[in-house]
Structure 1
Amino acid sequence: MNVVSEPNPLPPRRLLLVTGLAGAGKSTALAVLEDLGWEVIDNFPVRLLKRLVAMPDEARAPLAIGFDSRTRGFVPAEIIALVKDLAAREDIALTFVFLDCSGSELERRYNETRRRHPMADGRPVMEGIAAERELLEPLRRWAEIMIDTSAMTSNDLQGHVRQLFAPEADKAAMTLTLSSFGFARGMPPLADLVFDMRFLDNPHWVPELRELTGQDAPVGEHIEKDPAFGDAFARIRDLLLMLLPRYAAQGKPYVHVAFGCTGGRHRSVYTAEAMAAGLRAAGFSPTVRHRNLGSRAADEIERDRR
């Protein structure tokens, strides 16, 4: 007697719900997800979600739905009940993401862009932020993944979303980033390794070098003349050459190595560029970013922080 085997059931469809405070970075996160191959719908009426996921989809592309307090039918208690029903289904693998941000940072962003907060309604921006935070608190508590973007740049958030949701095939190759920054303007929030280069002689105090940067040859020559540079650089390079293959073996998809100095324009910039060249010679393909390279040379920043 021949036994006809039943076809293997389709894997559950990935469904990602993305919400959070207005201005916290939802649009940025959804744009990254779209680049990663997700089917993205923003400001989707939540009450139609069951109908949407019931529609046949042969491609079964992962689906990301964005919504917030501006979306029609936005009632947190009803959304949580709906999500619980969807999470119980075997044909759906659901993840709920909440994007949070401090009130002071959101206020700064709204003042900088001169946009109106959706819940301010003629009131000060901070009052609108507080009202929205209170409304969204049940969703924040219930979310599986909470991303606080208070100290993140747009690039930081993009990298974090990629690290969380990129397909496994894309995570196989490690992405290496070397960056420079100025301690006077804050630490990079997502660096895996940070090296402080302020022990080197500061080109800022050489008048003819002050307006130049670590990408200019005279600055590099000045830094390399420091007796501490050669040995320190070689030790950091050897440490990275030992650590990076181990990170890759552990499946770490993104590694960010940051070099800091006071203003982020001279010592850190030169070291990052030189280290990138050294790692390329060893077979790596780092991307180099300079966070504060465009910042002006300012005596009030450098003073007493040599």
Structure 2
Amino acid sequence: MSDEGKATREAASRVVLVTGPSGAGRSTAIAALEDLGYETIDNLPLSLVPRLLDGALSQPMALGIDVRNREFSAIALIELIDRLTRTPTVRLEILFMDARADVLLRRYSETRRRHPLSPGDAPEVGIAQEIDLLAPIRARADVLIDSSDMTIHDCRAEIARLFDMGQRDRLAVTVHSFSYKRGVPRGLDMMFDCRFLANPHWVPELRPLSGLDAAVAGHVAADTRYEEFVSRVRELLLFLLPAHVEEGKSHLSVGFGCTGGQHRSVAVTESVAKMLAEAGWHVSKRHRELERQAQVLPGVKEASGA
């Protein structure tokens, strides 16, 4: 490629087109890219995409496309990909989120959702049709991520590794809540134990709620040790985060654990994440046990603890 061609490509706007079979983690990928600073739009009609990308973009963009799109067809999507590839102002990348058919079927069975291609039939019918329909797109993918054996955190971390824009002055911080009974999440850089705080599990009216509820958060915050604990954690993180930026780190994971991952760790995670965001850091949150209850990818349904 000539120097002029390289300069043109570097000046082009980065656009990531995210697709893949339903249940493979496309929504997770879109959310992860948004956390990385991409402007995200999900399921825009294919005919409107070229108009959207006409002219310079103010920031990188991620577009989610799947079979629910009213104009969707493999031919139409390939034609769109070809058109955008030839557009000098666009630097297109295809991210294909994939998973094994048996994993997709398990996720649909656990969430009891209807497959968009077979709403009146068994999910496996729609899954097979969608895999076949998307095969030509899969073959065109620049990046293929198989989420079959991944958690949401694994998917987000992999996307951050592949699509972070390499800005040394920004650090993506993920704050996790988790249950010690289920083990410590993989990939944590720092971890804090919240089990010394007052436990809402022992208050009957609070037990079925989570740390996202104001009543639970208020109960945890009423512990005389809460304010100093959260304040010290905040000071520690604000001291350490700039040092991680200087070391060139693009992502940092901070975990807060309690017995069941439903009350105390969730409330503290929400509080600390808000404090960091107010201090200007790029923050995302993950509540592992609440996600399991909600059957979000990978869709494992379990009872919560204290």
| TM-score, normalised relative to structure 1 | 0.56
1: CA distance, partners of 2:91 / 2:29: 19
Task: Confirm or deny that 1:216 pairs with 2:212.
Answer: no
Distance 1:37 1:239, change over 3 A: closer
Structure 1 match to 2:171: 174
1: CA distance, partners of 2:63 / 2:284: 33
Q: One-letter code of the match for 2:122?
A: P
String of CA shifts for 1:153-179, please: whole Å, max 9, x gaps.
Answer: 9xx98898688657666x733343433
Question: 130, 133, 153: which one pairs with 1:132?
Answer: 130
Structure 2 match to 1:3: none
Q: One-letter code of the match for 1:152?
A: I
Structure 2 match to 1:20: 20
- Aligned ranges 1:224-303 → 2 under 5 Å: 243-269=240-266, 272=269, 291=287, 302=305
Q: One-letter code of the match for 1:17?
A: L
1:140 CA drift (Å): 3.5
Pick the structure with greater CA Rg: 1
2:152 is paired with a residue of what secondary structure?
coil
For the 8 Å contact 1:97–1:144, the answer to whether it is kept is yes
Structure 2 match to 1:96: 94
For the 8 Å contact 2:200–2:220, the answer to whether it is kept is no
Distance 1:240 1:38, change over 3 A: closer
Identity among equivalent pairs (%)? 28
Question: 178, 189, 192: which one pairs with 1:193?
Answer: 189
Structure 1 match to 2:151: 151
Q: One-letter code of the match for 2:110?
A: R
For the 8 Å contact 1:220–1:270, the answer to whether it is kept is no
Q: One-letter code of the match for 1:94?
A: L
Structure 1 match to 2:210: none
Distance 1:163 1:219, change over 3 A: farther
2:170 is paired with a residue of what secondary structure?
coil
1: CA distance, partners of 2:91 / 2:221: 56
Q: How many residues align?
A: 269
Distance 1:99 1:279, change over 3 A: closer
Distance 1:245 1:199, change over 3 A: same
1:124 CA drift (Å): 0.5
Task: Confirm or deny that 1:108 pairs with 2:110.
Answer: yes
String of CA shifts for 1:128-183, please: whole Å, max 9, x gaps.
Answer: 12332344345445523334396339xx98898688657666x7333434332335
1:42 is paired with a residue of what secondary structure?
coil
1: CA distance, partners of 2:42 / 2:94: 14
2:46 is paired with a residue of what secondary structure?
coil
Structure 1 portions without partners, runs of 5+? 1-5, 225-229
2: CA distance, partners of 1:266 / 1:122: 39
For the 8 Å contact 1:26–1:66, the answer to whether it is kept is yes
1:257 CA drift (Å): 0.7
Distance 1:214 1:182, change over 3 A: farther
- Aligned ranges 1:60-71 → 2 under 5 Å: 64-69=62-67, 71=71
2: CA distance, partners of 1:85 / 1:287: 35
Structure 2 portions without partners, runs of 5+? 208-214, 294-302
2:22 is paired with a residue of what secondary structure?
coil
Distance 1:144 1:260, change over 3 A: farther
1: CA distance, partners of 2:87 / 2:21: 28
For the 8 Å contact 2:177–2:261, the answer to whether it is kept is yes
Structure 1, 65-74 or 268-277: larger mean CA deviation? 268-277
